[in-house]
Amino acid sequence: MAIARSIKDRQSEGAALGNLGLAYYSLGDYPKAIDYEQQWLAIARSIQDRQSEGKALGNLGAAYYSLGDYKQAIEYEQQWLAIARSIQDRQSEGAALGNLGLAYYSLGDYPKAIDYQQQLLAITRSIQDRQSEGKALGNLGLAYYSLGDYKQAIEYEQQWLAIARSIQDRQSEGAALNNLGLAYYKQSNLTLAESTLTEGIKVWESLRGRDLKDREKVSIFETQRSAYRTLQKVLIAQNKTEAALEISERGRGRAFVELLSLRLSTNPREQFPTPPNIAEIKQIAKSQNTTVVEYSIIYDEFKIQGKQETKESELYIWVIKPTGEVTFRKADLKLLWQKDNTTLYQLVSNSRESIGVRGRGGIDVAYKPNPTNVKQRFQKLHELLINPIADLLPKNPDERVTFIPQSSLFLVPFAALQDEQGKFLIEKHTILTAPAIQVLDLTHKQRQKVSGNQALVLGNPIMPSFATKIGVAPQKLPDLPGAETEAKEIAQILNTKAITGKDATKAAFIQKLPQARFIHLATHGLLDDFKGLGVPGAVALAPDGKDNGLLTANEILDLKINAELVVLSACDTGQGKLTGDGVIGLSRALISAGAPSVIVTLWSIPDSPSALLMGEFYRQLQKNPDKAQALRQAMLTTMKQHSNPSAWAAFTLIGEAK
């Protein structure tokens, strides 16, 4: 762009601005995309380049559509359509018509959406664009589906399926099968819905091939989650609860499972394991000697003010006892948005905020504690997540319960959930979590490979500088004297010397890593995706001139960890990017690098109570090798001095208990 400006090449300058707009659009930064496309539009108009003017208008329409401003999107797409027709650009005319159809569909004006898609269909057939013809047919099917005309919807989706197969467009084939399965389900043709959705899932799973990077697999999976959810609904409607559990498990953590298998196995065939069947799921619960609780959030379409909207409808819950007994229960989520005007995600977020999280070292302090709200919201979460299955959980508090959350439930501090009497869940149960049942099987295999025999304890390094936003001057992270005290106490318990201050560098950490059996990091945790690689999160270490001191999740993925336990006693280390594959962040990176057990935090932890809790955890661990029981006892001890759950409930154990 700079060159184009310097030589006053307005056409190239405009094209560069348009490409920048598209790049920001791909990143999801729609306001920035709009800014660049507006600049391109101005140039195209000033040099009377009608084709570029049309494309800029179309890109602006797409950006406003992505922002949910459908009326503005329609305005721009109409202008593009007029230009395309005036210069007889049939391809652009078709694209504008299709975009208009999608915008009217999103506004709930299905007849108008059908009209535009029909016009697009006619153009695609006249210019023999088979791929666009298929998509137009698919969109027509969706519009008729939203009108409740399932027969007509099926007709169009079948035509799309035929085209997708004829041009070997596997992505479209999977989407058409998914749409067909949904329409069959709405027609109560459960047998055909089941076989069609199963076929669609197989097609989509074939796209997550061996040659793709982990990030690409996660990204593909994001577009495919609805097929697994719909198939679960179809199976539950037929009372096939165990088959639905298999699909629930098959629809989560697949990229993670493949990543772990790749690290664990020398046999290429084992690197792409098949999802577990019901017998294997039961066996995992038995070998772990734990009661497994798996959640699946189910959505449905509801007509709200004449418009079809997808909302949370039910929570499916399976309980697998160590005996192999599987029980299915469900909770109604509709009342959350019908009566309380909220969602499960908002309830989880509000619960965490009302705790009054203070932040280790004072980062991002935004919340004031509200004890009334805390109790109310944690009781509401208990009502939804625990009440339906309370009778199935072990009566002995020392027996383990492993929660397999989904989506926003990964952010739930299960230990802090309260029953009607105000009793916390940790008082009644020993708690762990995992992203999928199959991940538990793989962390168990990792546990057998532990070879470290020393302790690596690091706390309060000389802090690196960190920019919160692009273009903002980096600021040095605040020191954590409490973390240093914590590290020194834990080092004493583990019979080693804590690495602190300027010595706590990335190089020192990596040097001691191969021999470490226990790794404890008491420092700042950060949630950003520093290199734009799709794996957010970093741990603050001391800069040493050769690096900036930030150990990113992406760098951790490339390490080889031989330890049996890694504890990140830092802020927000259990958070990250929520996906259908679980939380993409530090915990996933550590487990993938070889750690069978990881303790991370769900929010910014307060300094003093965290040091108390961690010290107690390691003292308990000296007496009893069960990490879940040690963490429970440490929480109960801390609770006596600090009753607010913000002080003790952030810590969560992922993976192996022993």
Percent above pLDDT 90 for the chain:
62
Residue 560 scores a pLDDT above 60: yes
Band the pLDDT of 571: cuts 50, 70, 90: low
Q: What is the pLDDT of residues 28-78, one digit of tens each?
A: 899 999 999 999 999 999 999 999 999 999 999 999 999 999 999 999 999
Q: CA–CA separation, 127 vs 254, rounded Å?
A: 40
The DSSP letter of residue 645 is G
Q: CA–CA separation, 30 vs 184, rounded Å?
A: 36
Q: CA–CA separation, 225 vs 643, rounded Å?
A: 39
Contact (CB, 8 A) for 425 and 415:
yes
Q: CA–CA separation, 217 vs 476, rounded Å?
A: 36
Q: What is the pLDDT of residues 133-165, one digit of tens each?
A: 999 999 999 999 999 999 999 999 999 999 999
Tally Cβ neighbours within 10 Å of residue 520.
Answer: 28
**What residue ranges define each of the domains in the chain, with the CATH number in brackets?**
1-128 (1.25.40.10), 278-438 (3.30.420), 448-655 (3.40.50.1460)
Q: CA–CA separation, 293 vs 414, rounded Å?
A: 12
Q: What is the pLDDT of residues 487-523, one digit of tens each?
A: 999 999 999 999 999 999 999 999 999 999 999 999 8
| Per-residue tokens: 602 | 């769900």
DSSP 262-300: HHH-SSGGGGSPPPP-HHHHHHHHHHHTEEEEEEEEEEE
Positive or negative, the Cα torsion across 616, 621, 627, 630?
negative
Burial pattern 402-422, b for ≥16 Cβ within 10 A else e, equals bbbbbbbbbbbbbbbbbbeee
Q: CA–CA separation, 247 vs 237, rounded Å?
A: 14
pTM recorded for the entire structure: 0.88
Contact (CB, 8 A) for 596 and 447:
yes
Least confident of 270-284, 383-397, 637-651: 270-284
Band the pLDDT of 366: cuts 50, 70, 90: very low
**Between residues 256 and 611, which one has the greater pLDDT?**
611
* Residue 151 confidence (pLDDT): 97
- Alpha helices, H only, 296-368: 334-338, 344-355
Q: Which residues pair with 457 in a beta bridge?
A: 520
* Residue 251 confidence (pLDDT): 85
Pairing of β 516-522 and β 565-568: parallel
* Residue 525 confidence (pLDDT): 81
Q: Which of 48, 37, 38, 36 is nearest to 10 (CA)?
A: 48
* Residue 298 confidence (pLDDT): 94
Q: What is the pLDDT of residues 443-481, one digit of tens each?
A: 888 888 888 889 999 999 999 887 766 667 888 888 888
Q: CA–CA separation, 614 vs 168, rounded Å?
A: 56
Q: Which of 456, 454, 459, 411 is nearest to 577 (CA)?
A: 411
Q: What is the pLDDT of residues 158-185, one digit of tens each?
A: 999 999 999 999 999 999 999 999 999 9
| Per-residue tokens: 294 | 């798996």
Tally Cβ neighbours within 10 Å of residue 496.
Answer: 17
Q: What is the pLDDT of residues 315-349, one digit of tens each?
A: 999 999 999 999 999 999 998 888 888 889 888 88
**Between residues 433 and 307, which one has the greater pLDDT?**
433
Q: For residue 363, how far is the Cα from the chain centroid?
A: 24
Instruction: Give the mean pLDDT of the chain.
Output: 87
Residue 425 scores a pLDDT above 80: yes
Q: What is the pLDDT of residues 194-225, one digit of tens each?
A: 999 999 999 988 886 655 565 555 555 555 78
Tally Cβ neighbours within 10 Å of residue 623.
Answer: 10
Least confident of 205-209, 211-215, 549-553, 627-631: 211-215
* Residue 133 confidence (pLDDT): 96
Residue 358 scores a pLDDT above 60: no
Residue 14 scores a pLDDT above 50: yes
Query: H-helix or E-strand containing 378?
Result: helix 371-385
